Structure 1
Amino acid sequence: MNNIPVTAFGAKALEAALLKLKDVSRPRIIEDIRIARAHGDLKENAEYHAAKEEQSFVEGRIKEIELKLSRMQIIDVTKLSQDGRCVFGTTITLMNSVDNSEITYQIVGEDEADISLDKISCHSPIASALMGNEEGDKVIVKAPKGDIVYKILSVEYYI
Protein backbone atom coordinates (compact mmCIF):
# COMPACT_ATOMS: atom_id res chain seq x y z
CA MET A 1 0.00 0.00 0.00
CA ASN A 2 1.12 3.53 -0.72
CA ASN A 3 1.84 6.03 2.00
CA ILE A 4 -0.53 8.97 2.31
CA PRO A 5 1.30 12.30 2.59
CA VAL A 6 -0.02 14.59 5.30
CA THR A 7 1.18 17.65 7.16
CA ALA A 8 1.61 17.51 10.93
CA PHE A 9 -1.50 19.69 11.25
CA GLY A 10 -3.47 17.31 9.03
CA ALA A 11 -2.36 14.30 11.07
CA LYS A 12 -3.51 15.96 14.29
CA ALA A 13 -6.86 16.82 12.71
CA LEU A 14 -7.42 13.21 11.63
CA GLU A 15 -6.47 11.94 15.09
CA ALA A 16 -8.89 14.43 16.67
CA ALA A 17 -11.68 13.34 14.32
CA LEU A 18 -11.06 9.70 15.21
CA LEU A 19 -11.06 10.46 18.92
CA LYS A 20 -14.36 12.34 18.60
CA LEU A 21 -15.96 9.48 16.69
CA LYS A 22 -14.81 6.91 19.25
CA ASP A 23 -15.37 8.91 22.44
CA VAL A 24 -18.44 10.98 21.56
CA SER A 25 -20.35 9.67 18.56
CA ARG A 26 -20.04 5.94 19.22
CA PRO A 27 -21.28 6.07 22.86
CA ARG A 28 -24.12 8.45 21.90
CA ILE A 29 -25.29 6.12 19.13
CA ILE A 30 -25.13 3.09 21.43
CA GLU A 31 -27.35 4.97 23.87
CA ASP A 32 -29.72 5.98 21.04
CA ILE A 33 -30.02 2.32 20.01
CA ARG A 34 -30.67 1.26 23.61
CA ILE A 35 -33.44 3.85 23.97
CA ALA A 36 -34.99 2.95 20.61
CA ARG A 37 -35.00 -0.75 21.52
CA ALA A 38 -36.94 0.08 24.65
CA HIS A 39 -39.79 1.35 22.47
CA GLY A 40 -40.63 -2.20 21.46
CA ASP A 41 -41.17 -3.61 17.97
CA LEU A 42 -38.00 -3.04 15.95
CA LYS A 43 -39.55 -3.74 12.53
CA GLU A 44 -41.32 -0.39 12.37
CA ASN A 45 -39.11 1.54 14.76
CA ALA A 46 -37.74 4.48 12.73
CA GLU A 47 -35.55 5.71 15.61
CA TYR A 48 -33.89 2.31 15.88
CA HIS A 49 -33.24 2.06 12.14
CA ALA A 50 -31.89 5.62 11.99
CA ALA A 51 -29.54 4.94 14.89
CA LYS A 52 -28.34 1.68 13.32
CA GLU A 53 -27.72 3.48 10.03
CA GLU A 54 -25.76 6.20 11.79
CA GLN A 55 -23.81 3.53 13.68
CA SER A 56 -22.88 1.88 10.39
CA PHE A 57 -21.69 5.20 8.97
CA VAL A 58 -19.63 6.06 12.07
CA GLU A 59 -18.02 2.62 12.25
CA GLY A 60 -17.13 2.87 8.55
CA ARG A 61 -15.60 6.31 9.08
CA ILE A 62 -13.60 5.02 12.08
CA LYS A 63 -12.16 2.21 9.95
CA GLU A 64 -11.39 4.63 7.12
CA ILE A 65 -9.53 7.04 9.42
CA GLU A 66 -7.66 4.23 11.17
CA LEU A 67 -6.49 2.93 7.79
CA LYS A 68 -5.35 6.40 6.73
CA LEU A 69 -3.53 6.92 10.03
CA SER A 70 -1.73 3.60 9.60
CA ARG A 71 -0.60 4.56 6.09
CA MET A 72 0.16 8.24 6.52
CA GLN A 73 3.55 9.77 6.12
CA ILE A 74 3.84 13.00 8.10
CA ILE A 75 5.86 15.56 6.20
CA ASP A 76 7.33 18.41 8.23
CA VAL A 77 7.83 21.17 5.70
CA THR A 78 10.17 23.07 8.02
CA LYS A 79 12.67 20.21 7.79
CA LEU A 80 12.74 20.12 3.99
CA SER A 81 15.55 21.54 1.91
CA GLN A 82 14.49 25.14 1.46
CA ASP A 83 15.70 25.58 -2.10
CA GLY A 84 12.70 27.51 -3.42
CA ARG A 85 11.06 24.50 -5.05
CA CYS A 86 7.34 23.78 -4.81
CA VAL A 87 6.91 20.57 -2.84
CA PHE A 88 4.30 19.03 -0.56
CA GLY A 89 3.54 21.34 2.36
CA THR A 90 4.95 24.52 0.89
CA THR A 91 2.95 27.73 0.70
CA ILE A 92 3.13 29.26 -2.75
CA THR A 93 2.16 32.73 -3.92
CA LEU A 94 1.21 32.91 -7.59
CA MET A 95 0.42 35.70 -10.02
CA ASN A 96 -2.12 35.13 -12.78
CA SER A 97 -0.46 36.25 -16.01
CA VAL A 98 -3.73 37.53 -17.49
CA ASP A 99 -4.98 39.89 -14.79
CA ASN A 100 -1.92 40.06 -12.49
CA SER A 101 -4.03 38.92 -9.53
CA GLU A 102 -2.21 37.12 -6.74
CA ILE A 103 -3.29 34.00 -4.89
CA THR A 104 -1.58 31.96 -2.20
CA TYR A 105 -2.02 28.21 -1.73
CA GLN A 106 -0.56 25.58 0.53
CA ILE A 107 -0.11 22.13 -1.01
CA VAL A 108 -1.52 19.55 1.43
CA GLY A 109 -2.90 16.00 1.54
CA GLU A 110 -6.33 15.08 0.22
CA ASP A 111 -8.00 15.06 3.64
CA GLU A 112 -6.59 18.49 4.50
CA ALA A 113 -7.56 20.24 1.28
CA ASP A 114 -9.97 23.13 1.81
CA ILE A 115 -10.07 25.81 -0.85
CA SER A 116 -11.74 28.25 1.56
CA LEU A 117 -8.52 28.05 3.62
CA ASP A 118 -6.32 28.21 0.48
CA LYS A 119 -5.21 24.61 1.01
CA ILE A 120 -5.13 22.53 -2.16
CA SER A 121 -4.71 18.80 -2.58
CA CYS A 122 -1.34 17.58 -3.75
CA HIS A 123 -3.30 15.68 -6.42
CA SER A 124 -5.12 18.74 -7.78
CA PRO A 125 -4.28 20.01 -11.28
CA ILE A 126 -2.74 23.23 -9.94
CA ALA A 127 -0.56 21.44 -7.37
CA SER A 128 0.53 18.93 -10.00
CA ALA A 129 1.57 21.80 -12.28
CA LEU A 130 3.47 23.53 -9.45
CA MET A 131 5.37 20.55 -8.03
CA GLY A 132 9.09 20.72 -8.71
CA ASN A 133 9.00 24.27 -10.06
CA GLU A 134 10.62 27.18 -8.24
CA GLU A 135 10.30 30.88 -7.61
CA GLY A 136 10.23 32.85 -10.85
CA ASP A 137 9.03 29.92 -12.98
CA LYS A 138 5.89 30.14 -15.07
CA VAL A 139 3.53 27.18 -14.96
CA ILE A 140 0.56 26.26 -17.10
CA VAL A 141 -2.47 24.89 -15.29
CA LYS A 142 -5.03 22.95 -17.30
CA ALA A 143 -8.45 24.26 -16.27
CA PRO A 144 -11.96 23.53 -17.59
CA LYS A 145 -12.14 27.01 -19.14
CA GLY A 146 -8.70 26.67 -20.70
CA ASP A 147 -5.07 26.91 -19.73
CA ILE A 148 -4.07 29.42 -17.05
CA VAL A 149 -0.50 30.68 -16.81
CA TYR A 150 0.82 31.55 -13.36
CA LYS A 151 4.15 32.96 -12.28
CA ILE A 152 5.50 31.62 -8.98
CA LEU A 153 6.25 34.68 -6.86
CA SER A 154 7.32 32.94 -3.66
CA VAL A 155 7.67 29.53 -2.06
CA GLU A 156 7.59 29.42 1.73
CA TYR A 157 8.43 26.56 4.07
CA TYR A 158 6.38 27.05 7.21
CA ILE A 159 3.57 25.26 8.94
Structure 2
Amino acid sequence: MSDTQYLSRDKYTELEKELVTIKHETIPEIAKRIDEAKQMGDLSENAEYNDARDQMAWAQSRMKEIESILQSAQIISDDDLKFGVVGIGSTIVVEVAGREKEFTIVGAQEADPLIGKISNESPLGEAFLGRKKGETVEVEVPAGVQKYTLLTIK
Protein backbone atom coordinates (compact mmCIF):
# COMPACT_ATOMS: atom_id res chain seq x y z
CA MET A 1 0.00 0.00 0.00
CA SER A 2 1.29 3.46 -0.84
CA ASP A 3 1.90 6.10 1.83
CA THR A 4 -0.59 8.51 0.27
CA GLN A 5 -4.22 7.85 1.13
CA TYR A 6 -6.46 9.01 -1.72
CA LEU A 7 -9.83 10.14 -0.37
CA SER A 8 -12.91 11.88 -1.65
CA ARG A 9 -13.92 15.04 0.22
CA ASP A 10 -16.90 13.09 1.67
CA LYS A 11 -14.70 10.28 3.04
CA TYR A 12 -12.23 12.79 4.50
CA THR A 13 -15.09 14.60 6.28
CA GLU A 14 -16.53 11.29 7.50
CA LEU A 15 -13.16 10.32 9.02
CA GLU A 16 -12.79 13.76 10.63
CA LYS A 17 -16.21 13.36 12.27
CA GLU A 18 -15.37 9.85 13.46
CA LEU A 19 -12.12 11.14 14.98
CA VAL A 20 -13.93 13.94 16.85
CA THR A 21 -16.49 11.45 18.16
CA ILE A 22 -13.80 9.06 19.37
CA LYS A 23 -11.77 11.83 21.05
CA HIS A 24 -14.62 13.76 22.64
CA GLU A 25 -17.27 11.12 23.30
CA THR A 26 -16.07 7.52 23.06
CA ILE A 27 -12.79 7.80 24.98
CA PRO A 28 -14.21 9.96 27.81
CA GLU A 29 -17.17 7.56 28.17
CA ILE A 30 -14.87 4.55 28.33
CA ALA A 31 -12.57 6.34 30.80
CA LYS A 32 -15.58 6.94 33.03
CA ARG A 33 -16.54 3.25 32.80
CA ILE A 34 -12.99 2.25 33.74
CA ASP A 35 -13.10 4.53 36.80
CA GLU A 36 -16.48 3.11 37.82
CA ALA A 37 -15.22 -0.45 37.36
CA LYS A 38 -12.17 0.30 39.53
CA GLN A 39 -14.54 1.29 42.33
CA MET A 40 -15.92 -2.27 42.31
CA GLY A 41 -12.76 -3.68 43.85
CA ASP A 42 -10.61 -6.60 42.68
CA LEU A 43 -9.59 -5.80 39.10
CA SER A 44 -8.29 -9.30 38.35
CA GLU A 45 -11.83 -10.70 38.23
CA ASN A 46 -13.67 -7.57 37.15
CA ALA A 47 -15.31 -8.25 33.76
CA GLU A 48 -16.56 -4.67 33.42
CA TYR A 49 -13.05 -3.33 33.94
CA ASN A 50 -11.49 -5.77 31.46
CA ASP A 51 -14.17 -5.05 28.87
CA ALA A 52 -13.77 -1.27 29.23
CA ARG A 53 -9.98 -1.60 29.01
CA ASP A 54 -10.31 -3.60 25.78
CA GLN A 55 -12.68 -1.00 24.35
CA MET A 56 -10.26 1.77 25.31
CA ALA A 57 -7.43 -0.01 23.51
CA TRP A 58 -9.61 -0.34 20.39
CA ALA A 59 -10.69 3.33 20.53
CA GLN A 60 -7.12 4.57 20.94
CA SER A 61 -5.94 2.32 18.12
CA ARG A 62 -8.71 3.52 15.80
CA MET A 63 -7.97 7.14 16.73
CA LYS A 64 -4.29 6.70 15.77
CA GLU A 65 -5.28 4.94 12.54
CA ILE A 66 -7.62 7.77 11.51
CA GLU A 67 -5.03 10.42 12.42
CA SER A 68 -2.49 8.61 10.24
CA ILE A 69 -4.93 8.36 7.32
CA LEU A 70 -5.88 12.05 7.54
CA GLN A 71 -2.25 13.10 7.85
CA SER A 72 -1.30 11.27 4.64
CA ALA A 73 -4.55 12.04 2.78
CA GLN A 74 -4.73 13.55 -0.65
CA ILE A 75 -8.26 14.68 -1.45
CA ILE A 76 -9.34 13.82 -4.96
CA SER A 77 -11.67 16.23 -6.70
CA ASP A 78 -13.08 16.53 -10.21
CA ASP A 79 -10.34 19.09 -10.92
CA ASP A 80 -7.75 16.32 -10.50
CA LEU A 81 -9.22 14.19 -13.28
CA LYS A 82 -7.54 14.35 -16.67
CA PHE A 83 -10.00 14.31 -19.55
CA GLY A 84 -10.05 10.96 -21.31
CA VAL A 85 -7.60 9.22 -18.96
CA VAL A 86 -8.52 6.91 -16.08
CA GLY A 87 -7.41 8.18 -12.68
CA ILE A 88 -8.49 7.98 -9.08
CA GLY A 89 -12.04 9.31 -8.98
CA SER A 90 -12.87 8.16 -12.52
CA THR A 91 -16.01 6.15 -13.13
CA ILE A 92 -15.49 3.70 -15.97
CA VAL A 93 -17.66 1.35 -17.97
CA VAL A 94 -15.90 -1.79 -19.17
CA GLU A 95 -16.83 -4.85 -21.15
CA VAL A 96 -15.85 -8.17 -19.64
CA ALA A 97 -17.03 -11.57 -20.88
CA GLY A 98 -19.61 -9.88 -23.13
CA ARG A 99 -21.18 -7.86 -20.29
CA GLU A 100 -20.86 -4.22 -19.32
CA LYS A 101 -19.82 -3.31 -15.79
CA GLU A 102 -19.33 0.06 -14.14
CA PHE A 103 -16.60 0.80 -11.61
CA THR A 104 -15.34 3.86 -9.80
CA ILE A 105 -11.62 3.97 -9.06
CA VAL A 106 -11.15 5.10 -5.45
CA GLY A 107 -8.45 5.12 -2.79
CA ALA A 108 -8.04 1.99 -0.68
CA GLN A 109 -9.99 3.49 2.26
CA GLU A 110 -13.14 3.84 0.15
CA ALA A 111 -13.01 0.57 -1.79
CA ASP A 112 -16.20 -1.50 -1.75
CA PRO A 113 -16.37 -3.92 -4.69
CA LEU A 114 -19.97 -4.84 -3.86
CA ILE A 115 -21.06 -1.37 -4.96
CA GLY A 116 -18.54 -1.00 -7.78
CA LYS A 117 -15.88 1.00 -5.93
CA ILE A 118 -12.48 -0.55 -6.62
CA SER A 119 -9.18 0.46 -5.08
CA ASN A 120 -6.48 2.10 -7.15
CA GLU A 121 -4.18 -0.47 -5.51
CA SER A 122 -6.22 -3.52 -6.58
CA PRO A 123 -5.09 -5.47 -9.66
CA LEU A 124 -8.08 -4.20 -11.65
CA GLY A 125 -7.73 -0.62 -10.43
CA GLU A 126 -4.00 -0.57 -11.17
CA ALA A 127 -4.58 -2.04 -14.63
CA PHE A 128 -6.89 0.83 -15.63
CA LEU A 129 -4.94 3.78 -14.22
CA GLY A 130 -3.65 5.94 -17.06
CA ARG A 131 -5.66 4.04 -19.71
CA LYS A 132 -7.87 5.57 -22.40
CA LYS A 133 -11.19 4.65 -23.97
CA GLY A 134 -10.94 1.59 -26.23
CA GLU A 135 -7.92 0.06 -24.51
CA THR A 136 -8.02 -3.55 -23.35
CA VAL A 137 -6.26 -4.80 -20.25
CA GLU A 138 -5.68 -8.31 -18.97
CA VAL A 139 -6.06 -8.88 -15.25
CA GLU A 140 -5.22 -11.99 -13.25
CA VAL A 141 -8.31 -13.11 -11.34
CA PRO A 142 -8.93 -16.31 -9.35
CA ALA A 143 -10.50 -17.94 -12.43
CA GLY A 144 -7.50 -17.03 -14.62
CA VAL A 145 -6.69 -14.08 -16.88
CA GLN A 146 -9.68 -11.88 -17.69
CA LYS A 147 -9.80 -9.30 -20.52
CA TYR A 148 -11.49 -5.94 -19.85
CA THR A 149 -12.16 -3.38 -22.58
CA LEU A 150 -12.57 0.23 -21.50
CA LEU A 151 -15.78 1.59 -23.07
CA THR A 152 -16.38 4.88 -21.24
CA ILE A 153 -14.59 7.19 -18.81
CA LYS A 154 -16.82 9.52 -16.79
Compute the TM-score of the two structures, normalised by the length of structure 2: 0.91
Render the CA deviation track for 1:85-106: whole Å, top value 9, x for unaligned: 111111111111x2x2121111
3-state DSSP class of the match of 1:111? helix
Residue ranges of structure 1 left out of the alignment (5+ in a row)? none
3-state DSSP class of the match of 2:41? coil
Residue ranges of structure 2 left out of the alignment (5+ in a row)? none
The answer (yes or no) to whether the contact 2:34–2:49 under 8 Å persists in 1 is yes
1:62 equivalent in structure 2? 63
Q: Which amino acid aligns with 1:123?
A: E
3-state DSSP class of the match of 1:120? strand
Task: Tell me the C-alpha RMSD between the 2 structures.
Answer: 1.6
1:140 equivalent in structure 2? 138
3-state DSSP class of the match of 2:92? strand
2:48 equivalent in structure 1? 47
Aligned residues: 153
1:47: how far off?
A: 1.0
Q: Which moved more, 1:15-24 or 1:133-142?
A: 15-24
Q: Which amino acid aligns with 1:127?
A: G
1-side partners of 2:120 and 2:108: how far apart? Answer: 7
Q: Which amino acid aligns with 2:113?
A: I
TM alignment of 1:120-159, pairs within 5 A:
120-156=118-154
- List structure 1 runs of 4+ shifted beyond 3 angstroms: none
Distance 1:44-1:102 versus aligned 2 partners, 3 A rule: same
Render the CA deviation track for 1:4-47: whole Å, top value 9, x for unaligned: 22221221121122122223321221222122122211111011
1-side partners of 2:3 and 2:46: how far apart? Answer: 43
1:101 equivalent in structure 2? 99
Q: Which amino acid aligns with 2:106?
A: V
1:152: how far off?
A: 1.0
